[in-house]
């Protein structure tokens, strides 16, 4: 059925004109890897980018996180490789974690063709990395800093990749790598195919694309929506001192698998991961001040299901692909709309459903509106369930769990022992109470701003907005100069940024 010559006919009889991987004419070995990876159908960015990249054209590709951009460039680029001597492909990624992730993925696609891949990043030995490249790597996946070091010190005299890919370009911008990137390109051959992939397209990235790409095809799969439709987005309005209670209650109430909680500072990451661990969650922090080995072990932990709740800063967690993240929490509202898009893109990946939950205080409401309008997304307001509500739903779940529980042989032994002193009903009550202890709902009965008060706050915000040019007048201004709230001036923003990872 997968024979190429029957393919056209197949398509003609298919009611919907669904895209297939067969139609690209990729090499047989690559088609095998695609099947092996379990990909049934190309994603929209893949459908559009693969044929154009195969033609050898420069491409700027924009699509939400989790939509398969790696394969969108990886498959056609590997397909086009001549596999003669020397490095043919250079992929530049913002972080070590991403470099490893992309390299693993490219290795999978090129395995059957015998493609050799090397990663190059700071923190491990130059000699080893250069040795591996010189011993016949065909793909190099690198972070900007180390790559620039290597090129500027002329440590790789015959480095002439014919295809260069900038992956997650917006993140490189955010991490301050733009100058490095510009310099790297002075060491690369003029004659090359250049591809740039990004989830968002801030102005400096558009300008970079103009400088380093030649007559590129622009592919954008964002349909005016910067966020993935599979992600349900909610926000809860709380008082500043309720953040911890709110997050714990929501973790108790939601049906979660893996969860990422985003914080704005490293200190907040440390504090919150300790708080969550203390109340019994299997939580770990991830931020840029941690040692590389520690970070890798946390990332492995969450990937392998050994950790349920990852508490992280933006930069530390960006772009890392973790399967089955059911929820993303914004413990604080992010600094800018792009971060919001990136954060929530950690869930709802590869066509799965996800939920993104943001905690805001009334003072942050303006910020929320700004993100909403800039991102063009729908966020639903919701109230945090009360302790009573959560208990009720947990009880229903407990009933279902007990009904569905299989009985082990050892259970008889324990029951026989108990039967000597208690009757069956007593034993059952004790057992159920034991289960209840394990799912105890923590915190006060109600959390968050009550409907009536919220209504008043919203009305007064509305009045302030109508007040015309009087931005941040009235209560907002008082608040914003009082606390350590965010400010809008760019210098302050930059200061905040440099603190967050």
Binding region for Mg ion (CB under 5 A): 69
Write down the least CB distance from residue 49 to Mg ion, Å.
Answer: 13
Write down the least CB distance from residue 196 to ligand ADP, Å.
Answer: 13
In 3D space, the residue among 51, 59, 103 whose CA is nearest the CA of residue 76 turns out to be 51
Residue 103, contacted partner among Mg ion, ligand ADP, none, CB below 5-8 A by kind: none
**Helix or strand run (H / E) with residue 198:** strand 193-198
CB of 318 or CB of 387, closer to ligand ADP: 318
CB of 75 or CB of 390, closer to ligand ADP: 75
CB of 64 or CB of 69, closer to Mg ion: 69
Pair of tokens at residue 276: 């969550």
Write down the least CB distance from residue 430 to ligand ADP, Å.
Answer: 45
- C-alpha 138/C-alpha 110 separation (Å) is 10
CB of 71 or CB of 375, closer to Mg ion: 71
Write down the least CB distance from residue 361 to Mg ion, Å.
Answer: 33
Q: Specify the residue for token string 């004109």.
A: 17
Residue 395, contacted partner among ligand ADP, Mg ion, none, CB below 5-8 A by kind: none
SS3 content of the chain, % helix, strand, coil (to 5): 50, 15, 35
On whether the CB atoms of residues 381 and 235 are closer than 8 A, the answer is yes
64-83: contacts with ligand ADP (CB under 6 A): 65-71
How many C-beta neighbours within 10 Å does residue 132 have?
16
Write down the least CB distance from residue 168 to Mg ion, Å.
Answer: 5
The contact mask relative to ligand ADP for 344-363 (x = CB under 6 A, - = no) is: -----xx-------------
CB of 45 or CB of 283, closer to Mg ion: 45
347: which residues sit within 8 A by CB, 6+ positions away? Answer: 231, 260, 325, 326, 327, 328, 354, 355, 356
In 3D space, the residue among 356, 400, 389 whose CA is nearest the CA of residue 252 turns out to be 389
Stretch that binds ligand ADP, among 42-50, 285-293, 390-398, 426-434 (CB under 6 A): 42-50
CB of 24 or CB of 236, closer to ligand ADP: 24
CA atoms within 13 A on the CB side of 349: 21
Sheet arrangement for strand 193-198: 117-120, 139-142, 89-92, 163-166, 193-198, 59-63, 217-221
295-324: contacts with ligand ADP (CB under 6 A): 321
Look at residue 489 and give its three-state secondary structure.
coil
336 phi and psi angles, rounded to 5 deg: -145, 165
Number of chain positions touching ligand ADP (CB under 6 A): 16
Write down the least CB distance from residue 97 to ligand ADP, Å.
Answer: 12
The contact mask relative to ligand ADP for 12-41 (x = CB under 6 A, - = no) is: ---------------------------x-x
Residue 68, contacted partner among Mg ion, ligand ADP, none, CB below 5-8 A by kind: ligand ADP
On whether the CB atoms of residues 70 and 195 are closer than 8 A, the answer is no
Write down the least CB distance from residue 474 to ligand ADP, Å.
Answer: 42
CB of 69 or CB of 243, closer to Mg ion: 69
Q: Which residues bind ligand ADP (CB under 6 A)?
A: 39, 41-43, 46, 63, 65-71, 321, 349-350
């Amino acid at each position: 059925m997968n024979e190429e010559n029957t393919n056209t006919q197949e398509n003609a009889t298919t009611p919907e004109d669904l895209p297939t991987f067969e139609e690209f004419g990729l090499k047989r070995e690559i088609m095998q890897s695609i099947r092996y990876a379990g990909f049934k159908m190309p994603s929209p960015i893949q459908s559009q980018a693969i044929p154009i990249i195969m033609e050898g054209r420069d491409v700027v590709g924009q699509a939400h996180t989790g939509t398969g951009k790696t394969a969108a460039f990886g498959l056609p680029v590997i397909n086009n490789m001549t596999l003669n001597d020397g490095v043919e492909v250079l992929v530049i990624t913002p972080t070590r974690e991403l470099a490893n992730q992309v390299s693993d993925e490219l290795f999978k696609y090129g395995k059957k063709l015998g493609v050799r891949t090397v990663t190059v990043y700071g923190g491990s030995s130059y000699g080893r990395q250069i040795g591996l490249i010189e011993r016949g790597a065909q793909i190099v996946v690198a972070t900007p800093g180390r790559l620039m070091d290597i090129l500027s010190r002329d440590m790789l005299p015959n480095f002439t990749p014919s295809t260069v890919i900038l992956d997650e370009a917006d993140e490189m911008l955010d991490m301050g790598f733009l100058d490095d990137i510009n310099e790297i390109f002075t060491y690369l051959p003029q004659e090359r195919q250049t591809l740039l992939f990004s989830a968002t397209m801030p102005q400096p990235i558009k300008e970079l694309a103009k400088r380093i790409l030649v007559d590129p095809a622009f592919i954008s799969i964002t349909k005016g929506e910067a966020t993935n439709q599979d992600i349900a987005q909610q926000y809860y309005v709380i008082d500043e001192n309720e953040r911890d209670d709110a997050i714990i209650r929501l973790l108790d109430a939601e049906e979660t698998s893996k969860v990422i909680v985003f914080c704005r500072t490293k200190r907040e990451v440390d504090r919150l991961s300790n708080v969550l661990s203390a109340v019994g969650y299997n939580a770990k922090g991830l931020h840029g001040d941690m040692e590389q080995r520690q970070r890798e072990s946390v990332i492995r932990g969450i990937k392998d299901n050994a950790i349920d709740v990852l508490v992280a800063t933006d930069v530390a967690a960006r772009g890392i692909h973790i399967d089955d993240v059911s929820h993303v929490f914004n413990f604080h509202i992010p600094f800018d709309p792009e971060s919001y898009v990136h954060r929530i893109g950690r869930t709802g990946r590869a066509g799965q459903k996800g939920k993104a939950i943001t905690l805001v205080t009334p003072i942050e409401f303006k910020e929320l509106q700004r993100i909403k309008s800039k991102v063009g997304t729908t966020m639903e307001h919701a109230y945090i369930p009360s302790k009573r509500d959560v208990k009720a739903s947990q009880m229903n779940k407990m009933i279902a769990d007990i009904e569905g529980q299989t009985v082990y042989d050892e259970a008889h032994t324990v029951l026989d022992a108990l039967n000597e002193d208690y009757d069956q009903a007593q034993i059952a009550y004790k057992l159920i109470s034991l289960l209840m202890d394990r799912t105890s709902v923590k915190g006060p009965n109600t959390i968050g701003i009550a409907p009536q008060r919220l209504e008043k706050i919203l009305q007064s915000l509305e009045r302030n907005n109508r007040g015309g040019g009087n931005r941040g007048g009235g209560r907002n201004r008082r608040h914003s100069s009082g606390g350590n709230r965010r400010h809008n001036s760019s210098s302050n923003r930059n200061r905040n940024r440099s603190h967050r990872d």
